[in-house]
Homo-oligomer: A and B are copies of this chain.
Protein backbone atom coordinates (compact mmCIF):
# COMPACT_ATOMS: atom_id res chain seq x y z
CA UNK A 1 0.00 0.00 0.00
CA UNK A 2 2.27 2.76 -1.27
CA UNK A 3 0.91 6.09 -0.22
CA UNK A 4 1.04 8.59 -3.03
CA UNK A 5 -0.81 11.75 -3.80
CA UNK A 6 -4.07 11.21 -5.57
CA UNK A 7 -2.96 13.13 -8.62
CA UNK A 8 0.09 10.98 -9.04
CA UNK A 9 -1.93 7.81 -8.99
CA UNK A 10 -4.43 9.22 -11.45
CA UNK A 11 -1.69 10.12 -13.90
CA UNK A 12 -0.23 6.71 -13.46
CA UNK A 13 -3.54 5.09 -14.35
CA UNK A 14 -3.96 7.32 -17.37
CA UNK A 15 -0.51 6.46 -18.65
CA UNK A 16 -1.04 2.76 -18.15
CA UNK A 17 -4.44 2.79 -19.78
CA UNK A 18 -3.11 4.72 -22.75
CA UNK A 19 -0.58 1.98 -23.18
CA UNK A 20 -3.02 -0.88 -22.84
CA UNK A 21 -5.91 0.68 -24.74
CA UNK A 22 -3.79 1.58 -27.74
CA UNK A 23 -2.23 -1.84 -27.91
CA UNK A 24 -5.47 -3.76 -27.63
CA UNK A 25 -8.34 -1.42 -28.29
CA UNK A 26 -11.11 -0.55 -25.91
CA UNK A 27 -13.05 -3.77 -25.66
CA UNK A 28 -10.10 -6.12 -25.53
CA UNK A 29 -8.46 -4.14 -22.73
CA UNK A 30 -9.32 -5.18 -19.22
CA UNK A 31 -9.29 -3.09 -16.09
CA UNK A 32 -7.32 -5.89 -14.50
CA UNK A 33 -4.57 -5.45 -17.05
CA UNK A 34 -4.57 -1.68 -16.75
CA UNK A 35 -4.31 -1.92 -12.99
CA UNK A 36 -1.44 -4.33 -13.30
CA UNK A 37 0.36 -2.05 -15.74
CA UNK A 38 -0.15 0.86 -13.34
CA UNK A 39 1.04 -1.30 -10.48
CA UNK A 40 -2.04 -0.66 -8.41
CA UNK A 41 -5.02 -2.74 -7.39
CA UNK A 42 -8.22 -3.03 -9.34
CA UNK A 43 -10.21 -1.15 -6.76
CA UNK A 44 -7.95 1.85 -6.99
CA UNK A 45 -8.86 2.41 -10.62
CA UNK A 46 -12.44 2.87 -9.52
CA UNK A 47 -11.48 5.50 -6.99
CA UNK A 48 -10.33 7.75 -9.78
CA UNK A 49 -12.67 6.80 -12.60
CA UNK A 50 -16.30 5.88 -12.35
CA UNK A 51 -15.96 3.09 -14.85
CA UNK A 52 -14.08 1.82 -17.86
CA UNK A 53 -15.83 4.11 -20.28
CA UNK A 54 -15.13 7.20 -18.26
CA UNK A 55 -11.48 6.28 -18.03
CA UNK A 56 -11.37 5.92 -21.77
CA UNK A 57 -13.16 9.20 -22.43
CA UNK A 58 -10.89 11.01 -20.04
CA UNK A 59 -7.89 9.72 -21.91
CA UNK A 60 -9.18 10.84 -25.29
CA UNK A 61 -10.22 14.24 -24.02
CA UNK A 62 -6.82 14.86 -22.46
CA UNK A 63 -4.86 14.17 -25.59
CA UNK A 64 -7.20 15.94 -27.93
CA UNK A 65 -6.94 19.13 -25.98
CA UNK A 66 -3.17 19.05 -26.22
CA UNK A 67 -3.29 18.99 -30.01
CA UNK A 68 -6.09 21.51 -30.34
CA UNK A 69 -4.16 23.99 -28.30
CA UNK A 70 -1.02 23.60 -30.34
CA UNK A 71 -2.86 24.09 -33.59
CA UNK A 72 -4.84 27.02 -32.28
CA UNK A 73 -1.95 29.10 -31.03
CA UNK A 74 0.27 29.15 -34.05
CA UNK A 75 -1.95 30.19 -36.90
CA UNK A 76 -3.33 33.62 -36.75
CA UNK A 77 -0.15 35.59 -37.11
CA UNK A 78 1.23 33.68 -40.10
CA UNK A 79 2.10 35.63 -43.17
CA UNK A 80 1.78 33.54 -46.29
CA UNK A 81 -0.75 30.77 -46.86
CA UNK A 82 2.11 28.61 -47.94
CA UNK A 83 3.89 28.98 -44.63
CA UNK A 84 0.68 28.43 -42.71
CA UNK A 85 -0.03 25.20 -44.50
CA UNK A 86 3.50 24.02 -43.97
CA UNK A 87 3.17 24.65 -40.25
CA UNK A 88 -0.19 22.96 -40.08
CA UNK A 89 1.19 19.86 -41.71
CA UNK A 90 4.31 19.88 -39.60
CA UNK A 91 2.43 20.17 -36.35
CA UNK A 92 0.06 17.36 -37.21
CA UNK A 93 2.84 15.05 -38.29
CA UNK A 94 5.06 15.85 -35.36
CA UNK A 95 2.17 15.20 -33.05
CA UNK A 96 1.49 11.91 -34.76
CA UNK A 97 5.08 10.78 -34.36
CA UNK A 98 5.01 11.75 -30.72
CA UNK A 99 1.67 10.19 -29.96
CA UNK A 100 1.45 7.19 -32.21
CA UNK A 101 -0.36 5.37 -29.44
CA UNK A 102 -3.09 7.92 -29.20
CA UNK A 103 -3.54 8.14 -32.93
CA UNK A 104 -3.98 4.42 -33.11
CA UNK A 105 -6.50 4.44 -30.35
CA UNK A 106 -8.33 7.35 -31.88
CA UNK A 107 -8.67 5.77 -35.28
CA UNK A 108 -9.42 2.33 -34.01
CA UNK A 109 -12.26 3.33 -31.84
CA UNK A 110 -13.68 5.84 -34.22
CA UNK A 111 -17.11 4.48 -34.90
CA UNK A 112 -17.22 3.14 -31.44
CA UNK A 113 -20.55 3.81 -29.93
CA UNK A 114 -19.67 6.65 -27.63
CA UNK A 115 -17.80 9.84 -28.41
CA UNK A 116 -18.03 9.60 -32.15
CA UNK A 117 -19.66 12.98 -32.52
CA UNK A 118 -16.81 14.69 -30.76
CA UNK A 119 -14.31 12.98 -33.00
CA UNK A 120 -16.08 14.08 -36.14
CA UNK A 121 -16.34 17.60 -34.82
CA UNK A 122 -12.62 17.75 -34.24
CA UNK A 123 -11.93 16.51 -37.73
CA UNK A 124 -14.28 19.01 -39.36
CA UNK A 125 -12.74 21.80 -37.39
CA UNK A 126 -9.36 20.90 -38.81
CA UNK A 127 -10.79 20.93 -42.32
CA UNK A 128 -12.14 24.40 -41.77
CA UNK A 129 -8.73 25.66 -40.77
CA UNK A 130 -7.24 24.31 -43.98
CA UNK A 131 -10.08 25.83 -45.96
CA UNK A 132 -9.29 29.25 -44.56
CA UNK A 133 -5.64 28.88 -45.44
CA UNK A 134 -6.51 27.88 -48.99
CA UNK A 135 -8.89 30.79 -49.46
CA UNK A 136 -6.22 33.13 -48.25
CA UNK A 137 -3.74 31.57 -50.67
CA UNK A 138 -6.08 31.90 -53.60
CA UNK A 139 -6.90 35.49 -52.72
CA UNK A 140 -3.24 36.41 -52.42
CA UNK A 141 -2.48 34.76 -55.75
CA UNK A 142 -0.18 32.17 -54.24
CA UNK A 143 -2.43 29.20 -54.99
CA UNK A 144 -4.22 28.07 -58.08
CA UNK A 145 -7.93 28.49 -58.17
CA UNK A 146 -9.87 25.52 -56.84
CA UNK A 147 -12.85 24.71 -54.70
CA UNK A 148 -11.48 25.38 -51.20
CA UNK A 149 -13.91 23.03 -49.47
CA UNK A 150 -13.15 20.05 -51.65
CA UNK A 151 -9.46 20.68 -51.66
CA UNK A 152 -9.35 21.11 -47.90
CA UNK A 153 -11.08 17.80 -47.44
CA UNK A 154 -8.62 16.10 -49.72
CA UNK A 155 -5.67 17.63 -47.92
CA UNK A 156 -7.00 16.67 -44.52
CA UNK A 157 -7.60 13.20 -45.84
CA UNK A 158 -4.04 13.12 -47.10
CA UNK A 159 -2.67 14.16 -43.74
CA UNK A 160 -4.84 11.61 -42.03
CA UNK A 161 -3.61 8.90 -44.35
CA UNK A 162 0.02 9.77 -43.80
CA UNK A 163 -0.51 9.83 -40.05
CA UNK A 164 -2.11 6.44 -40.29
CA UNK A 165 0.89 5.20 -42.22
CA UNK A 166 3.22 6.57 -39.59
CA UNK A 167 1.25 5.10 -36.71
CA UNK A 168 0.38 1.76 -38.18
CA UNK A 169 3.41 0.87 -40.18
CA UNK A 170 6.04 2.72 -38.22
CA UNK A 171 7.21 4.42 -41.39
CA UNK A 172 8.83 7.81 -41.09
CA UNK A 173 7.46 10.47 -43.40
CA UNK A 174 9.13 13.85 -43.06
CA UNK A 175 6.81 16.84 -42.94
CA UNK A 176 8.75 18.57 -45.69
CA UNK A 177 8.16 15.75 -48.12
CA UNK A 178 4.46 15.92 -47.56
CA UNK A 179 4.37 19.72 -47.68
CA UNK A 180 6.23 19.70 -50.96
CA UNK A 181 3.83 17.24 -52.45
CA UNK A 182 0.79 19.13 -51.38
CA UNK A 183 2.20 22.50 -52.35
CA UNK A 184 3.04 21.12 -55.76
CA UNK A 185 -0.64 20.54 -56.18
CA UNK A 186 -1.63 23.93 -54.90
CA UNK A 187 0.91 26.52 -56.01
CA UNK A 188 0.42 28.49 -59.18
CA UNK A 189 4.05 28.33 -60.16
CA UNK A 190 5.95 25.19 -59.38
CA UNK A 191 8.42 27.04 -57.28
CA UNK A 192 8.74 24.37 -54.71
CA UNK A 193 12.07 22.99 -53.83
CA UNK A 194 12.29 19.81 -55.75
CA UNK A 195 11.40 17.04 -53.35
CA UNK A 196 14.31 14.86 -54.35
CA UNK A 197 16.47 14.74 -51.23
By a beta-carbon cutoff of 8 Å, the part of chain A in contact with chain B is 23, 25-28, 104, 107-112, 120, 123, 144-147, 150-151, 153-154, 156-165, 168-169, 171, 173, 177-178, 181-182, 184-186, 190, 194-197
Measured between beta carbons, the chain B residues less than 8 angstroms from A184 are 144, 184-186
Distance from A62 Cβ to chain B, minimum over Cβ atoms (Å): 21
27 contacts between A and B (CB under 8 A): A25-B109, A25-B112, A26-B28, A27-B27, A104-B111, A107-B108, A110-B168, A123-B169, A144-B184, A144-B190, A146-B195, A146-B196, A147-B195, A147-B197, A150-B195, A150-B197, A151-B181, A151-B195, A154-B177, A154-B178, A156-B165, A157-B158, A158-B162, A160-B161, A160-B165, A161-B163, A184-B185
Which has the most chain B C-beta neighbours within 10 Å: A153, A157, A163?
A: A157
Establish whether residues A194 and B146, one from each chain, have CB atoms under 8 Å apart when the complex forms: yes
Copies assembled: 4
A169 to B147, CA, bound (A): 20
Establish whether residues A157 and B162, one from each chain, have CB atoms under 8 Å apart when the complex forms: yes
Nearest B residue to A150 by beta-carbon distance? B177
Chain B residues whose C-beta falls within 8 Å of the C-beta of A196 in the assembled complex: 145-147
Tell which of A28, A159, A161, A171 has the most Cβ of chain B within 10 Å. Answer: A161
- Grouping DSSP codes into helix (H, G, I), strand (E, B) and loop, the A interface class, with mixed when no group exceeds half, is helix
Does the CB pair B169–A161 fall under 8 Å? no
Chain B residues with Cβ under 8 A from A111's Cβ? 23, 104, 108, 168
* Cα-based distance from A159 to B42 in the complex (angstroms): 43
A53 to B120, CA, bound (A): 31
A152 CB → nearest B CB, Å = 11
Contact of A181 with B173 in the complex, beta carbons under 8 Å: no
Q: How far is B23's CA from A109's CA once the two chains are assembled, in angstroms?
A: 10
Find chain B residues with CB under 8 A from A150 CB: 177, 195, 197
Which of A150, A156, A185, A190 has most chain B Cβ within 10 Å?
Answer: A185
